A and B are shown apart, each in its own frame.
Chain A
Amino acid sequence: MLDSPAGTADPAILVAELSKIYAGGHAAITDIDLEIRRGEIFALLGPNGAGKTTLISIICGIVNPTSGRVLAGGHDVVRAYRKARSLIGLVPQELTTDAFESVWNTVCFSRGLFGKPPAPGVLERILRDLSLWDKKDAKIITLSGGMKRRVLIAKALAHEPEILFLDEPTAGVDVELRRDMWDMVRRLRDDGVTIILTTHYIDEAEEMADRIGVIDGGRIVLVEDKAVLMRKLGKKELRLTLLAPLEAVPAELSSYTLSLEADGRTLVYTFDTQGERTGTTRLLGDLQQLGIRFTDLDTRQSSLEDIFVGLVGKTK
């Protein structure tokens, strides 16, 4: 039985016990359960071959699942595929475009394909938002890679979807375009569009996502609010640059998680941000008593990348 969990609003996407075994016997995803909330930006992280694209492809109707069910906006993506698919827009990973079509014709095609009547005003707004309006009559083959990526986004938005999948949207694009896309994604979220993005760039997920899902080996390893995840799994480091190098961590400080770096000139104290007491004040007092002096100190929060590497490493 596939129902929304008690206490949650009707989700944008609900995945239940979803598996896909390809003809060659490769199990791309196994027993995946996942809920994407309406209006959120959900980042799906995972290494190459983790099953991200297969999962998205099944939700969007491009690949048949072996077992399990998916609801989009409450509609079964297989049985009620028309209603389900009309809610979804997909920006694929590859730059797959009709090279000899004009930008305008290709977005008109996309809108029609999804059963929507012509709406030049809507398409003009989308193209203007993506800085493509002055290229509307250009053939796609003449556009740069970044522009082609925007065309794919325009095509995905042409039928005004409620749910947008971005499969590695910023792969291979320059920093400026990446920032533009992040802004665009936030604007879409503000307009009520649910965004699901897969990415290799951890900083992208850290910058944009409301929630993070980690997939590895075809299984969902973790789904968590980004802030909670950072808090729960995040470690913080206090780094002290010593006046005189140490050969080893003094035995009197063995109760602390300490390590030495930079030929004994940097003392690193790792502590849990969740702990009631971090122990930093006591450590500084103990250092003073031992006569260990330092010239500089700074703290560093572990990044999502550190967390991701830790999680994926555990599943190996």
Chain B
Amino acid sequence: MNLHGVRAIYVFEMSRTWRTLFQSIVSPVVTTMLYFVVFGAAIGSRITEINGVSFAAFIIPGLVMLSILTESVSNASFGIHLPRFTGTIYEVLSAPISPIEIVLGYVGAAATKSVILGLIILATARLFVAYEVAHPLAMLAFLVLTAATFSLLGFIIGIWADNFEKLQFVPMLVITPLTFLGGSFYSIDMLPPFWRTVSLFNPVVYLISGFRWSFHDAADVPIGISIAFILVFFVLCIAAVWWIFKTGYRLKN
């Protein structure tokens, strides 16, 4: 295994993060904090508890998920799209490094960045809201698995996209709406039966529900289904990446 190669890509991508600290970390943290202030402190104080949890504490997992999903996709898609755009991808493609190692480097760095971001948001939220984490290890596992899965999705988008507009399309027009409608700010049990059924077709519902369970020990859908969903999505993304490297799709043709 070319561990030096994996490390080289990982370090290179992480150094890009530190170079763009405001854009990569500070900006999403500040944006998420604004949600806490507006929906948690200002509006949330007038909303009754949900499942025995204050509204401000209730929205924390959803808001962390919102950040994790969009940032994972953005980071990973940009990480692989930029060398394709500038032409520096030639070096990666001509190096003695396997597709798995390339993915480990790029996706590993993007997921690391998202996990760091999620932990910073959680730590900062603590300044505004008192919350408990019922299952800390499960919370961390959900965080890592979600970041890795959506970084894989971002990697696929970064290879599929042939311009920067398409790169922004999925995070802005697919992930963000699905997250908002996936129970970030409410429990889907609060919806009328018809819209509750519709919501169950939104894959993000299962991610937010599972993540929220690790905090409040209560979920919209059974935790087993949430875990199964994220694992299936992870495997689907791995399969898509495998196909990309096998066929050379938009990389070697």
Chain A residues in the interface with B (C-beta under 8 A): 22-23, 57, 60-64, 81-86, 88, 90, 92, 94, 96-101, 105, 108-117, 155
Task: Tell me if A61 and B91 are in contact (CB < 8 A).
Answer: no
Which residues on B sit within 8 Å (CB–CB) of A101? Answer: 12, 15
Can you name 12 extra interface pairs (CB under 8 A) apart from A60-B94, A113-B95?
A: A82-B2, A86-B96, A90-B94, A92-B87, A96-B87, A101-B12, A111-B4, A112-B8, A113-B9, A113-B91, A115-B2, A115-B4
Q: Which B201-253 residues have C-beta < 8 A from chain A?
A: 248, 252-253
> How long is the Cα–Cα vector from A131 to B98 in the complex, in angstroms?
33
Q: Which B residues touch A63, using CB under 8 A?
A: 252-253
Which residues from chain B contact A114 at a C-beta distance below 8 Å? 4-5, 95-96
Assembled-state Cα–Cα distance A23/B5 (Å): 30
A-B contact pairs, 7 of them (CB 8 A): A22-B253, A92-B90, A98-B88, A105-B15, A113-B9, A113-B95, A115-B5
Q: Is A85 a contact of B15 with CB atoms below 8 Å?
A: no
A309 to B92, CA, bound (A): 37
B5 is contacted by which of A22, A99, A113 (Cβ under 8 Å)? A113
Q: Is B46 an interface residue (CB 8 A)?
A: no
Whether B86 and A96, one on each chain, are in contact in the complex, defined by CB atoms closer than 8 angstroms, is yes
A23 to B15, CA, bound (A): 36
* Structural contact, B7 and A81, CB atoms closer than 8 A: no
Known contacts A105-B15, A109-B12, A115-B5; A62/B88 CB under 8 A: no
Cβ contacts under 8 Å, A62 to chain B: 90, 93-94, 252
**Shortest beta-carbon distance from A140 to chain B in Å:** 11
Q: Are B94 and A88 in contact (CB under 8 A)?
A: yes
B37 at the interface (CB under 8 A from A): no
Complex CA gap A260/B229 in Å reads 86
* Assembly CA distance A235 to B248 (angstroms): 48
Contact of B8 among A64, A98, A109 (CB under 8 A): A109
Main secondary structure, interface of B, reads helix
Tell me, rounded to whole Å, the shortest Cβ–Cβ distance linking B19 to chain A: 6
Whether the pair B86, A112 counts as a contact (CB closer than 8 A) is no
Contacts of A99 in B (CB 8 A): 86
B41 within 8 Å of A by Cβ? Answer: no
Question: Which residues of B, 74-98, contact A by the 8 Å Cβ criterion?
Answer: 86-88, 90-98
Q: What CA separation (Å) do A282 and B98 show in the bound complex?
A: 69
The 3 A-B pairs with the shortest beta carbon distances in the complex, nearest first, are A112-B8, A96-B87, A82-B96
How far, in Å, is A196 (CB) from chain B's closest CB?
14
A156 to chain B: closest residue by CB = B91
Residues of B whose CB lies within 8 Å of any CB of A are 2, 4-5, 7-9, 11-12, 15-16, 19, 86-88, 90-98, 248, 252-253
A61 touches B93 (CB 8 A): yes
With CB as the reference atom, state the residue of chain B lying closest to A118. B4
A116 touches B88 (CB 8 A): no
A71 vs B219: C-alpha distance when bound (angstroms): 58
Task: State how many angstroms separate the Cβ of A49 from the closest Cβ of chain B.
Answer: 18
- List residues of chain A with CB within 8 A of the CB of B92: 113
Residues of A within 8 A of B248 (CB): 64
CA distance A96 to B88 in the complex (A): 5
Taking a contact as CB atoms under 8 Å apart, the answer to whether A112 and B7 are in contact is yes
User: CA of A111 to CA of B8 in the docked complex: distance in angstroms?
Assistant: 8
With both chains docked as a complex, state the minimum distance between the C-beta of A90 and any C-beta of chain B, in angstroms.
5
Q: Given the complex of chains A and B, what is the CA–CA distance between A85 and B96 in angstroms? A: 5
Q: Are A23 and B88 in contact (CB under 8 A)?
A: no
Which residues of chain A have C-beta atoms less than 8 A from B2's C-beta? 82, 115
Determine if A98 and B86 form an interchain contact, defined as CB atoms under 8 angstroms apart. Answer: yes
Write out the residue numbers on chain A whose beta carbons fall within 8 Å of the beta carbon of B15. 101, 105
Instruction: Evaluate whether A64 and B252 lie within 8 angstroms (CB atoms) in the complex, with A96-B86, A113-B9 already known.
Output: yes
**Contact partners of B19 in chain A: CB under 8 A:** 100
Q: CA–CA, A94 to B86, complex, Å? A: 10
A116-B87 CB under 8 A given contacts A64-B253, A81-B96, A90-B94: no
Known contacts A109-B12, A112-B8, A115-B2: A61-B94 contact under CB 8 Å: yes
Please name all residues of chain A whose beta carbon is closer than 8 Å to the beta carbon of B96 when the two chains form the complex.
81-86, 114-115
Chain A residue at smallest Cβ distance from B86: A96
A109-B12, A115-B97 known; A155 vs B91 contact (CB < 8 Å): yes
Chain B contacts for A61, CB-based, 8 A = 93-94
Nearest opposing residue in chain A for B6, CB measure: A112
Instruction: Please tell me if the beta carbons of A110 and B91 are within 8 angstroms of each other in the complex.
Output: yes
Residues of B with C-beta under 8 A to A22: 253
Contact at B253–A90, with CB atoms within 8 Å?
Answer: no
- Min CB–CB distance A126 → chain B (angstroms): 16
Asked if A113 and B93 make an inter-chain contact with CB atoms under 8 angstroms apart, the answer reads: no
Q: Shortest distance in angstroms between A256's beta carbon and chain B's nearest beta carbon?
A: 54
Chain A hits for B90, CB < 8 A: 57, 60, 62, 90, 92, 96
Nearest residue (CB) in B for A86 is: B96
Taken together as a complex, chains A and B put the C-alpha atoms of A85 and B90 apart, in Å, by 12
For A92, give the chain B residue with the smallest CB separation.
B90
- Residues in B neighbouring A90, C-beta threshold 8 A: 90-91, 94
CB distance from A102 to the nearest CB of B (A): 10
